Structure 1
Amino acid sequence: MRTDDADLARLAAELDIPTIDGLQHQGDVSVIPASMASEDHRPPVTPVPAAGIAVVRGEAGGHTHLLLASGDVRYDVREGAADDLTLGSLEVGDGASAWLDHPEHGNTGIAPGRYVLRRKREMAPRVLTPDTVRKLERARKQARKQEALEQAERAEREQAERDRAAREQEWMNVRFVAD
């Protein structure tokens, strides 16, 4: 059996989509209540159009995370550096509803309130070049030398303490005799 977008849209219309006012995630996008966000964001001023706003566009065949709205819903895109995780700020007015739509993840409902939308951080695998491997080996060798030196110094201090204690013990056993 084959499905198309029209079939999926019909099925989605029949579903009850829960509306959440707390932290939620949809694939690569997080919806964070503004009270939980570490940075301060001004209230957004741009109304979400009936056609919605692409929060994250699908790259290389991926699907778009689309913000849809009913009522007074405003979203401002955050124009930041390429490594900035914050996508924008969202405000869902009283009595309004907002949804994040995605063909693979389904829809998530967003309750009235202020939110910050962020993307997920992608972690690249660590690549070790031959030069980096040599530097790591040198650093480990130096750390082993330092540890051996510190261990020898500790042993020397402990021996000196044992010698001092032995001398004290010898003096305690000495009896002084009057002439």
Structure 2
Amino acid sequence: MTMTMPLTLADLTGRTGLTVLDHLEQQVRIPVLDGLQAQGDLIVVPLAVLDDVHLAAQARWRPVPPEGVELLRGAAGGNPHTLVAEPGDARWTTDVTDPERLAVGVLRCTGPTYLVHPEHGGSGVAPGTYLVRRQRERSTGWGGGDFLVAD
């Protein structure tokens, strides 16, 4: 499958077999971004802007297959965030640490790579290297503190 033109949500779900909720607009073109982007309880951050994330010296990189890699399932076993790419376009490792312990993994892609979620649809990640991590919110209510975003 060639991804030279922006994919629609219908193209992406048709090619991967993943599903999204019926209310999402199927003909919307999925933007492919090279900056910070969020999808529910995940956030994708260009690795170049981070100085406190460390890859293992012998990180095990796995290819991201067209059918996808489930990165994270929402709170209480909810909907999955799935990473999909053309063969050879992306690699993935979980051999990463960050001081906040929110890292899910690191993505290296040479072609457009997509995050798919049943409720959020799709988002595109441009070629580059990115940290994928959980999102955290700061509470301003009584007791304060931080908590993970529940999707």
Give the TM-score band, short-chain normalised: 0.5 to 0.7
Quickly say closer, same or farther: Cα 1:117–1:6, change in 2 above 3 A.
closer
Q: Distance in 2 between matches of 1:79 and 1:11?
A: 35
TM-score using structure 1 length: 0.56
CA contact (8 A) 2:43 2:135 kept: yes
Look up the equivalent residue of 1:33 and give its one-letter code.
P
Look up the equivalent residue of 1:36 and give its one-letter code.
V
Q: Distance in 1 between matches of 2:64 and 2:21?
A: 26
Q: Distance in 2 between matches of 1:47 and 1:41?
A: 20
1:103 and 2:118 aligned: yes
CA contact (8 A) 1:48 1:74 kept: yes
1:73 and 2:86 aligned: no
Which structure carries more helix by proportion?
A: 1
Percent identity over paired residues: 37
- Structure 1 unaligned regions, length at least 5: 128-179
CA contact (8 A) 2:20 2:117 kept: no
TM-score using structure 2 length: 0.65
Quickly say closer, same or farther: Cα 1:115–1:80, change in 2 above 3 A.
closer
1:25 and 2:42 aligned: no
Note the aligned Cα RMSD (angstroms). Answer: 3.0
Look up the equivalent residue of 2:134 and give its one-letter code.
R
Look up the equivalent residue of 1:38 and give its one-letter code.
D
- Structure 2 unaligned regions, length at least 5: 1-18, 144-151
Q: Deviations over 1:68-121 (max 9, x none)?
A: 11242001124669x61011000111xx22111111122110001111111012
Quickly say closer, same or farther: Cα 1:7–1:60, change in 2 above 3 A.
closer
> Within 5 A, what are the aligned runs for 1:16-55?
16-42=29-55, 45-55=61-71
CA contact (8 A) 1:41 1:89 kept: no
Corresponding residue for residue 60 of structure 1 = 76
> Within 5 A, what are the aligned runs for 1:130-169?
none
Look up the equivalent residue of 1:110 and give its one-letter code.
V
Which structure carries more strand by proportion?
A: 2
Q: Which one scores higher on RCO, CA 8 angstroms, separation ≥ 6?
A: 2
1:116 and 2:131 aligned: yes
Tell me how far 1:48 sits from its aligned partner.
0.7
Q: Distance in 1 between matches of 2:96 and 2:131?
A: 13
SS at the partner of 1:60? helix
